[in-house]
Amino acid sequence: MKKTFPFSLLLVSFILLTMLVASSCANNTLNTPPEVQPTKENQGNRPTTLRAVVDQLPSIDPEALAYCNNIKTIIYGTSAFERPEAIQSYKKLMDNDSTLEENPMSLRLHSLTIEDEESGKSIDFFDMPIEQKQVFVDMLLAEDAMMLTEKINAAPELKSMLERENLITSRVIERNQLVNREIGLVHSGFRSLSEKTVDAKDFFKELYDEFEVENNAPSSQSQLRGLDVSVSFNYPEVPAERVRSYWQKYARRGDFIVAIPNHFCPWIYANIGVGVRFKVGHAGIINEKITSSTNLDDKNSTIECFPENGVQGLNIANWNTPHYVVGIQRVKYVWKWRWFRSGLYKETTPVSNPEALANWASKYRGHKYVKWYEFATPKWFAPDRFTCTTLVWWCAKKAYGVNVSNWYSPLVTPSGLLTDDCTYIRANVL
């Protein structure tokens, strides 16, 4: 007589076998799958281990990855792991970012808000042991690369601008013979920090000069004085009524708006003047709650900075070109040190009082535009004089203590405002 194997016994055997396999894997840390932590907003899973970073690289936009690889190369090549000497506190960094002596990469690392996952205590990047710094930078730049990929998907024009910046930066890196570094590769063995380093001040001066030479035609004086506006642009018009409708639906007082060029005109010129409709990119701050009855010519709708009349109130009608409505957010990095199973995830929180940006901008009405010979380094002249973008940058520092500026530029460009991790796109106005 044929015996039947009881189903219940089969089930128990399967469960016991599963438990044994699980126990074996738990004791083999080399084969343990990397942990993945969700972001605070639960917007999908983010990689929190170096292995997950490597696995994620194929889904990152190539230009975003190249940008972050360049940053890593420069961090190592300019000794940015060393604490800035002139600026010893976050408050001083937020009050004045104008020192010519400090490595901007070090300043950026200095300004990060980092929290230990287990204790909840704040961490100063420069207090970490060197091996932690190396792992942390890989994870940080992987987060940046994913953030940039998301923004390129939302604002495709950014990709060509990143590509141009990457080409220029790579030339300077190669000319200085810095060792190329790539995010996600530190786990293959820590590389010596002393592999070819250069003086940071000299490197960044060369980099800034390279951008200026590459993009500085026609001359800065003629461009900034509005004397040469013969360049061909490709800006479609957006009816002002449609702009008002977008702002009514998506914008709050204190959000800012950004138009970026979709051509290769000199990127250092944030704007030329009202008369030519900021054809090379512009930024402004929304100063009113926009409603369907807001007058299109009301010169209190925005606060902006132009060569003509400096910081001033302007209107919706002046923004009849494609642009983005952008908000500001606070960024905190939660860090767990476990050698090659370390974790990092980013928490972003939109500012709760967006009106503070407009309130600070109002304080500077009447302040002048930078002089033409100051335009290459406009950060250094705020708050005495501004460009359209440094007005947004400075007011964000004063209102929220956040630095909406990219890693290595003395400028705050329109595209730089869009690509910073402390900003997020609320609407694409087309």
pLDDT digits (tens, 9 = 90+) for 75-109: 999 999 988 776 554 445 555 554 446 788 988 89
Q: Which two tokens stand for residue 360?
A: 């600070």
Q: Among 192, 234, 205, 190, which Cα is nearest to 339's?
A: 190
Report strand pairing: 114-116 vs 122-123: antiparallel
Q: Can you list the alpha helix ranges (DSSP code H) found in 176-293? A: 200-215, 220-224, 240-250
Give pLDDT tens digits along the chain (430 positions).
Answer: 444 444 444 333 433 433 333 333 333 322 222 222 333 333 334 444 434 455 566 789 999 999 999 999 999 999 999 887 765 544 455 555 544 467 889 888 988 999 999 899 999 999 999 989 998 999 999 999 999 999 999 888 889 888 988 999 999 999 999 999 998 876 555 667 778 999 998 998 898 888 777 655 444 433 433 333 333 345 678 999 999 999 999 999 999 999 886 533 433 344 444 444 445 578 999 999 999 999 999 999 999 998 889 999 999 998 988 899 999 999 999 998 877 678 888 899 999 999 999 999 999 999 999 887 676 677 778 899 998 999 999 999 999 999 898 787 667 888 889 989 999 999 999 8
Give residue 191's pLDDT. Answer: 64
pTM, to two decimals: 0.78
Residue 15 three-state SS: helix
Q: Are 88 and 110 in contact (CB under 8 A)?
A: no
The backbone region for 177, taken as left when phi is positive above 0, alpha when psi lies in -120 to 50, beta otherwise, is left
Q: How many Cα neighbours within 13 Å face the side chain of 407?
A: 23
Helix or strand run (H / E) with residue 427: strand 423-429
Q: Enumerate residues 6+ apart whose C-beta is below 8 A from 358.
A: 253, 254, 285, 286, 287, 303
Instruction: Compute CA distances 230 → 276, 279, 280, whole Å.
Output: 10, 11, 12
Residue 222 three-state SS: helix
Q: Among 206, 68, 219, 33, which Cα is nearest to 149's?
A: 68
Distance in angstroms (rounded) separating the CA atoms of residues 196 and 186: 17
Tallying the residues shown for the chain, one arrives at 430
Distance in angstroms (rounded) separating the CA atoms of residues 421 and 404: 8
**What are the helix and strand counts (H, E) for the chain?**
13, 13
Residue 322 three-state SS: coil
Distance in angstroms (rounded) separating the CA atoms of residues 261 and 132: 39
Helix 62-77 to helix 130-154 angle (10° resolution) is: 150
Query: What DSSP letter does each residue of 40-77 carry, written as one string?
Result: TT--SEEE-SHHHHHHHGGGS-HHHHHHHHHHHHHHHH
Q: Are 14 and 23 in contact (CB under 8 A)?
A: no
Q: Are 266 and 217 in contact (CB under 8 A)?
A: yes
Q: Enumerate residues 6+ apart whose C-beta is below 8 A from 308.
A: 273, 274, 275, 369
| Domain residue extents for the chain | 36-231+321-429
Distance in angstroms (rounded) separating the CA atoms of residues 324 and 271: 16
Peptide bond preceding 218 in cis form (omega within 30 of 0) = yes
